[in-house]
Structure 1
Amino acid sequence: MKTNAKLSCRFFRIHDISIPKMLEMHAVFSQYYHNADLATFIQDMNKKSGVFILKDKTAGRIVGFSTWNEVEIDYRGKKAIGVFSGDTIVEKEYWGNKAMHTAFAIKMLSTKLLNPSTHVFWLLISKGYKTYLLMTNNFQRFYPRHDQHDVELEGLVDQYCNKLYPDYYQADSRILDFGDGYHALKSDVAAITSSMCAENDNIRFFNERNHEWRRGTEMPCIGEVSASALWHFFKKVTVGAFRVRKARRLQKSMA
């Protein structure tokens, strides 16, 4: 991780994204994905309501982004909010930085506070294990997972996939298959090894469940946004930030 960079992450409505910003985002995206033509990228972006943009303020450039959209779903006979994440990418040298995760969590918290009596869920489709780990590492209740089978959340996955991607959802395997021309991770990005599967049950599960991820198939996921889940996340970020500052102070004292 690039520790000396000054990063900022801001949320923008899609209609507020300038052409230069869109081109810069596409340049980041095309570094890591095959079949990443500009026309399809812009078409997909226009289907979203907003995007978080991660910027290296020192270098003055965009180094990552994550999209945001809200979908109405039915939960126990009542209206619920599904916050849908589509494309998410961060340049490799910035992996591990929490600026984007924190901005996303703050907006998620705001959505929950503005709708206190409404259930909120994070809807995520994952073609790479790193994206899936964002859910396993930060949510208490989520689906799918290797150690539990939540039938209720499974039904919500079926619901939103049939609503958003009816032509591509494989209901038997619960995988989204957009075909061979869909953008897929390049071979040197987020590779999975046998030792990783042996050491981490979540990575093993992802690799087995979405075994064709290399050609771009997506594993749809869902997590319940609760006060305890958000508290757990912010506590981890605070502790992590404290440790980073402590390490930096130690480095300076030894210089």
Structure 2
Amino acid sequence: MSKLVAEIIPQYHIDANLRKTMYELYETYYESTSFEIFNDDLNHKNYVIALWDADKKLQGFSTVAIWDFEFETQAQRAVFSGDTIVHRDYWGEQTLPLAWCRLAGQIKAQAPTEPLFWFLIVKGYRTYRYLPLFAHQFYPTYRYPTPPEMQRLMDYLAEEKFGPDYDPKTGLIRFPVSRGHLRGSWADIKEGYEDKPDVRYFLERNPDYGKGEELVCLMELREDNMRSHARRGFIAGMNSEG
């Protein structure tokens, strides 16, 4: 099987055909959604990372929004990850995370003196497991308590974006009606993974992930907080021309 190729596309360059193709791939794995919900969410993003196979067929994507805000008198930025899916045949392939880290580096280079965070809401254990692969420090985790200043920032971002759907007591986003969750067996925990510490922690924090509840997570995107491959991609993005 050929390796996927990543393309970073500004949202305003996503035409109707590509939107339809993205949704068809997304709907294969997610239920309780609609094209209207998907399309409206896409309209609020800045970029799409598209994954193409050798035949130029879409095999995955992730949507990305950049958020400029002021928190506790300091200008800061966040990268918010939206809808993300990779075709089952390519699970485990690292093209998407490496492209994402490179894009994050490019975003950091736009305002190098401002703190940049990855703010994400996690509806599945596979996504949560990227956090310890990407970062030395991220929140929440079983490894250490979340510092008060990080908890305040997580609460601020979640309340700004999701209002009453965010429960600060649990750190969960609970929509009145699911806005998309993995279909049937795709939500099942891979055999042998239940006892992995990060998976166990995610399930403790978000036991109803299968109903579309999402765990608020945060990490700071900076060189010394990133691990190996993620760090290399991030630095490459910071040093690129665009």
Tell me whether the two structures share a fold, i.e. TM-score over 0.5.
yes
> Distance in 1 between the 2:132 and 2:99 partners?
18
1:166 is matched with which residue: 163, 166, 171? 163
1:183 aligns with 2:180: yes
| Structure 1 position 235, deviation (Å) | 6.6
1:62 aligns with 2:58: yes
Whether the aligned pair in 1 keeps the contact of 2:48 and 2:64 (CA below 8 Å) is yes
Size of the alignment, in residue pairs?
232
> Helix, strand or coil for the counterpart of 2:154?
helix
Q: Deviations over 1:79-99 (max 9, x none)?
A: 111110011110111011111
> Distance in 1 between the 2:87 and 2:190 partners?
21
The corresponding residue for 1:17 is 14
1:45 aligns with 2:34: no
More divergent stretch after superposition (164-173 vs 224-233): 224-233
> Helix, strand or coil for the counterpart of 1:28?
helix
Give the 5 Å matches for 1:83-232.
83-150=79-146, 151-192=148-189, 195-198=192-195, 200-230=196-226, 232=228
* 34 and 120 in structure 1: CA distance in 2 versus 1, 3 angstrom threshold: same
1:90 maps to a residue whose letter is: V
Q: Deviations over 1:94-115 (max 9, x none)?
A: 0111111111111111222232
> Distance in 2 between the 1:181 and 1:5 partners?
35
> Helix, strand or coil for the counterpart of 2:67?
strand
| Structure 1 position 230, deviation (Å) | 4.1
The corresponding residue for 2:239 is none
In structure 1, stretches of 5+ residues that fail to align are 238-255
> Distance in 1 between the 2:217 and 2:230 partners?
22
Structure number with bigger Rg: 1
1:147 maps to a residue whose letter is: R
Whether the aligned pair in 2 keeps the contact of 1:180 and 1:215 (CA below 8 Å) is no
> Distance in 2 between the 1:193 and 1:59 partners?
30
Whether the aligned pair in 1 keeps the contact of 2:37 and 2:179 (CA below 8 Å) is no
Whether the aligned pair in 1 keeps the contact of 2:187 and 2:210 (CA below 8 Å) is no
What TM-score, normalized to structure 2?
Answer: 0.89
Greater RCO structure (CA 8 Å; 6+ sep): 2
* 75 and 180 in structure 1: CA distance in 2 versus 1, 3 angstrom threshold: closer
Whether the aligned pair in 1 keeps the contact of 2:6 and 2:52 (CA below 8 Å) is yes
> Distance in 1 between the 2:169 and 2:30 partners?
27
In structure 2, stretches of 5+ residues that fail to align are 234-242
Whether the aligned pair in 1 keeps the contact of 2:97 and 2:230 (CA below 8 Å) is no
